[in-house]
Structure 1
């Protein structure tokens, strides 16, 4: 703000031209605008030209110098006059600084950004300034810089290597300084939860809620594990997970300061990533064996087929009893409709790592590992660690339930995701039974750019219905496309991601339609049962809650239109929307102004932990240039308008009256 006001102050009348040619003022007032390099286009750019001449405060000719020497009193006269002018200039500058907030406010209060009509109309309006009009000029410049950097794909692609190289040669301080002043400032709320409180309050003033996110995640680094024993690795990760659980507890406590807030959790930070990969492998193999044993491919298996599958488990006897006794007990429990057949949902709920009664079935043994079709097991110590992970998560859920803070479980890489889903479904089954005042407590995330995402969403809905809890689902397109495709290529695996952006759009829209369709189906059931058509679907009666987390404006508009068609009230928060901090503010603030449930992810954490998150944000902005171009255009138009307003203010700056100084 101060720099903008400095640039707007005229040299007082009668001041020497050498003052105007100083590097500070020349760079701020008469050079070409520093914003030009961030322009979406150069047309219409305004440039100030330096004046051809300036009135001189005093002559610098030899004659005048001699006169000054001849008359000592003239020195003090000039000093007094110069001091007076300096005071007047300072007063003028101070006056401008005190009026600066009003100047910025007037720049965006002269006209209303919203039409006041339909939310869809306001979302479609590409000149809607609601996302930029209340930002400070420095924030606008920062956003312009970051978005501009994101357009350099080579820089974005090389960023991980540059940071890695800086770490190798111990040059992280200057690199982190640049990151902290640019991408970190744009996309993160701070380095601690307390740092984010101001951001959360500011968002709340715009009708936007917050999802506070301790942005610490863990990935596999086998080279880092080679020199350690299994016991050392286990101890290290358990200690780290306990520490992060304490930090997430602080995150939940901080989020609870704002009503209806969320806290985000990454399950990879709550245990060993190696353990999560092993659990994922076990679960994936078990489901694959189920599909293979299902001879008629109708999705269900008979008791004999059930027995074959149990025999493939690492420890089918659980160290006691006979196989037939174990199968009889498990099949009776799984066959809930008593038709003599069991589908995958009922099997997975019954024979589960999440149950104390059946966890021992997955205990690894040498004989099981040598079997051809065996399901890979886990050592007893690994099963104990998995139980510890569940205990950490349940403790955090208890705290969240007490403080009425909802939890958002983030999706991560595909080689962790089956284990993450297994944990999330376990928590939903235990905490999403009773309707809460602010809706279900646990939300799971589905990355719809994965080919199997829609099928898993539908399968999880079936599971929720059978176990009588609310399925709360956040739908995203996905955040790991680059690394996932690279891994699939290196390992010779099938690409798990949809073939092309259009296929991803189709998958995402299908997920939204499925969730809204289940709401509509429930609404019709209520109307038919109670013979009332005026009873709107509410949080207490809906089987699902949908969270549309998307930066794609078309997806948001499409969802709003579907909500209007189905009569789903924005205030019901049966459908919520979300974007990341620093992205798509036009969408976020428009939804907030129209009363929709809209939330911003507010990540925080030490900068060296947040680097992976920031790299993904840069990659996402680089790959979605269309949306970023709209953002940049809005930012640029706002800056031009403020610049024009500032020039108008310049003309109104009072000038020091002419007098003795001018004559001299």
Structure 2
């Protein structure tokens, strides 16, 4: 019999959270619901760090506490264990940003190798992940995405980038820990896609150890998925694919408008939803070649994947099918899916406070701009606080 699943069960969703945790989260999301406060906070944070003001304690007590696992791998241990207690895996996401030197790229590579070593043999850390922009200059990736025009020194630099990526992917394959390449902006994505394809050709001959990420808010990604599948079948390698909606919509539309090229983003949310669900279905129809991670905070898309798994009589814990959400968001999805036996992972970012501020600002802006996101979180938290009060009152009677 198919397992009935509901995302309305707040007792399951917030089982790992204390009353104090819920009150803090409520205040934080109330703040994030005010666009003016978010913009003001963003500006003051940037100014404060520029002036070397001691902002870290305030950040660690608010955004950091909600969305980040710690400053180091070791500091994430408590979060890893808490999630594991409820059947949820962790993806350690080294989220230091803004680095641009060869030394910093090598330091990031070493940190990613540490993550893979930490994940090896640990069922609670089933994946690793990295952004190629953590290993390469942004301008180099942009130029490399334009097909040609690299100088001799830039070609050498790009070879060093590929070597870093290959070291990471080889380590992941050796450790039997699949690794995601995160998707980024469209004007650097062609270079990232080429790296991902080359690594899949090298390391995915027996199983999908290297996974690419497709942002389905792009209108060309469903057809690209089908092209990748055809290529994998023809060349005899396995596809690992993480499907997400996308994180750069305003930036993408603004750049397309300013530079006069066609908007790469779907015309509306309904088109994105349609293609996301179609991509999920396509992957499930081709599990002989494709492994899937659905990275979505959308309730309907998570229901869609559950329903299609049931349609094909696939077990909830099918080794090739995963659900993923970000730490501190959409716990009603993650915890209810895990309770029902599905494979669920949370992205758990970590980095020194100053280095992770750009990530935290994006989370704040995302919660402000994504339609209904803050309202949904506040509603769920409010309902759980009310449920606990009523339960406490009933127990006293």
Match of 1:512 in 2: 280
**Contact 1:120-1:560 within 8 A present in 2 as well:** no
Match of 1:248 among 71, 93, 112: 112
Per-residue deviation, residues 7-30 of structure 1 (Å, max 9, x unmatched): xxxxxxxxxxxxxxxxxxxxxxxx
Greater displacement, 554-563 / 488-497:
488-497
Q: Does 1:422 align with 2:194?
A: yes
Per-residue deviation, residues 409-451 of structure 1 (Å, max 9, x unmatched): 111111211111111111111111113xxxx211110011112
Match of 2:346 among 600, 603, 608: 600
Question: CA shift at 1:127, angstroms?
Answer: 4.0
Structure 1 stretches of 5 or more lacking a match? Answer: 1-116, 220-235, 283-375, 520-541, 653-664
Q: Does 1:173 align with 2:54?
A: yes
Match of 2:204 in 1: 432
SS at structure 2 position matched to 1:212: strand
Q: Does 1:122 align with 2:6?
A: yes
Question: CA shift at 1:644, angstroms?
Answer: 5.0
Question: CA shift at 1:620, angstroms?
Answer: 2.3
Per-residue deviation, residues 227-259 of structure 1 (Å, max 9, x unmatched): xxxxxxxxx622221111111112222233622
Question: CA shift at 1:457, angstroms?
Answer: 1.4
Please give the alpha-carbon distance, in whole angstroms, between the structure 1 residues aligned to 2:137 and 2:164.
Answer: 13
Looking at both structures, which has the greater relative contact order when contacts are Cα pairs under 8 Å and sequence separation is at least 6? 2
Per-residue deviation, residues 550-607 of structure 1 (Å, max 9, x unmatched): 0001100011101111122222222211000011111111111222111100000112
SS at structure 1 position matched to 2:44: helix
Match of 2:145 in 1: 280
Task: Assess, with a 3 A threshold, how the Cα gap between structure 1 residues 120 and 491 changes in structure 2: closer, same or farther.
Answer: farther
Task: Assess, with a 3 A threshold, how the Cα gap between structure 1 residues 562 and 641 changes in structure 2: closer, same or farther.
Answer: closer
Question: CA shift at 1:145, angstroms?
Answer: 1.7
**Contact 2:5-2:336 within 8 A present in 1 as well:** no
SS at structure 1 position matched to 2:61: helix
Match of 1:198 in 2: 78
**Contact 1:576-1:598 within 8 A present in 2 as well:** yes
Question: CA shift at 1:120, angstroms?
Answer: 4.3
Please give the alpha-carbon distance, in whole angstroms, between the structure 2 residues aligned to 1:465 and 1:172.
Answer: 55
Please give the alpha-carbon distance, in whole angstroms, between the structure 1 residues aligned to 2:339 and 2:142.
Answer: 43
Task: Assess, with a 3 A threshold, how the Cα gap between structure 1 residues 120 and 490 changes in structure 2: closer, same or farther.
Answer: farther
Q: Does 1:494 align with 2:262?
A: yes
Please give the alpha-carbon distance, in whole angstroms, between the structure 2 residues aligned to 1:449 and 1:562.
Answer: 21
SS at structure 2 position matched to 1:495: coil
Please give the alpha-carbon distance, in whole angstroms, between the structure 1 residues aligned to 2:370 and 2:81.
Answer: 29
Task: Assess, with a 3 A threshold, how the Cα gap between structure 1 residues 549 and 119 changes in structure 2: closer, same or farther.
Answer: farther
Please give the alpha-carbon distance, in whole angstroms, between the structure 1 residues aligned to 2:269 and 2:344.
Answer: 25
Match of 2:102 among 220, 232, 238: 238
Q: Does 1:393 align with 2:165?
A: yes
Structure 2 stretches of 5 or more lacking a match? Answer: none
Please give the alpha-carbon distance, in whole angstroms, between the structure 2 residues aligned to 1:158 and 1:505.
Answer: 32
Within 5 A, what are the aligned runs for 1:435-474? 435=207, 440-474=208-242
Match of 1:261 in 2: 126
Within 5 A, what are the aligned runs for 1:478-627? 478-519=246-287, 542-627=288-373
TM-score normalised according to structure 1 size: 0.57
SS at structure 2 position matched to 1:564: helix
CA-based RMSD: 2.3
Match of 1:41 in 2: none
Task: Assess, with a 3 A threshold, how the Cα gap between structure 1 residues 118 and 565 changes in structure 2: closer, same or farther.
Answer: closer
Q: Alignment length, in residue pairs?
A: 396
Question: CA shift at 1:378, angstroms?
Answer: 1.2
